[in-house]
Structure 1
Amino acid sequence: MRALAGVTRSTVMTLGGEATLVAAGDDVVEVPVVPVAPVDTTGAGDCFAGTVASRLAAGATLADAVRAGNETASALIAVPRSER
């Protein structure tokens, strides 16, 4: 992530059920995820990205937006939604 510092203003890297890393400038923050038993991961990334974008548009910091994205994506994957 530090290698991207000269290329981008900020970077978000999801690590699945472990955490999400948020880098801005020289700072890297680890944002924890909400632990859940995954049932259906379909759409988790879209849910995360949409939440982050909407929170940023509402004026949240990047770390707070990512925290909200983690929460909504965790809630989504804990619910059975599709037939396979």
Structure 2
Amino acid sequence: MAVGTAAGIGSELVRAGLAQLAGIGAAGAMLVGDPAYYGRFGFVARPGLVCDGVPDVYGQAVTFITPPAWERIAFHPAFFTAK
């Protein structure tokens, strides 16, 4: 990607974030998003990954460890604060 262009910046940011997480020993990452977009980074809906209030197809994860350990996902209360 050429410096100073906006094309592809979102993809580069996702890749950089995943590399940093893997670099610090994170087990993986979870997000809520469009499977058609985030699938290119290895994110998929996973059996056993539960995020209350989110349809299963949109709660996706990528793992950096084998075997993966899936647990219930909880958002920080700040996500639910109205201003």
TM-score range, shorter chain: under 0.3
Scaled by the length of structure 1, the TM-score of the pair is 0.25
Scaled by the length of structure 2, the TM-score of the pair is 0.25
Q: Which has a greater percent of helix?
A: 1
Larger Rg computed on CA atoms: 2
